[in-house]
C-alpha cells in the first residue's frame, strides 16, 4: 500500500471501526480522538509527510495539533504497556495492508 495519509487514515478507520469522516471532523469523543491521533502518528512514521500536510488532510488541524497527537501517542506508549502493545498491533496491520484491504 502506498503510505499516503489518506490510505493510512482509511486503514486505521477500518481497524478501529471509526469512520474517516469522523476522524476528519472536530469530534472529541475519546475513540475518535484516539483513532485520529494514531492515524497522524502512523502517517508521520510511515510516509514522513510534513506535519502541516498531515493536519491539512484532517481538515482545520494545524501542525501543532499533529505534534500534540504524536506526543500523546508516544507518551501513552511509554507509560501504558497495554496501549503500547495495542498501538504496535495497529501499526503493523496498517503497515502490512494492501490498498484492496482498505477499500
The average pLDDT across 21-45 equals 95
Cell of residue 1, nine digits: 500500500
- pLDDT on residue 98: 87
Question: With a threshold of 0.85, does the pTM exceed it?
Answer: yes
Cell of residue 39, nine digits: 492515524
Where are the chain's structural domains? 5-96
Return the half-sphere exposure (C-beta side, CA atoms, 13 A cut-off) of residue 10: 14
Residues 7 and 102: beta-carbon distance below 8 Å:
yes
Summarised one tens digit per residue, pLDDT across range 34-87 is 999 999 999 999 998 999 999 999 997 789 999 999 999 999 999 999 999 999
Closest CA to 8 of 96, 98, 94: 94
State which fold the 5-96 domain adopts. Answer: Chromosomal Replication Initiator Protein Dnaa; Chain: A; (1.10.1750)
Amino acid at each position: 500500500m502506498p503510505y499516503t495519509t489518506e490510505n493510512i487514515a482509511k486503514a486505521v478507520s477500518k481497524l478501529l471501526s471509526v469512520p474517516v469522516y469522523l476522524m476528519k471532523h472536530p469530534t472529541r469523543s475519546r475513540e475518535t480522538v484516539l483513532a485520529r491521533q494514531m492515524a497522524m502518528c502512523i502517517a508521520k512514521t510511515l510516509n514522513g509527510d510534513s506535519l502541516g500536510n498531515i493536519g491539512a488532510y484532517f481538515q482545520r488541524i494545524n501542525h501543532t495539533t499533529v505534534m500534540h497527537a504524536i506526543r500523546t501517542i508516544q507518551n501513552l506508549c511509554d507509560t501504558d504497556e497495554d496501549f503500547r502493545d495495542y498501538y504496535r498491533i495497529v501499526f503493523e496491520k496498517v503497515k502490512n495492508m494492501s490498498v484492496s484491504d482498505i477499500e
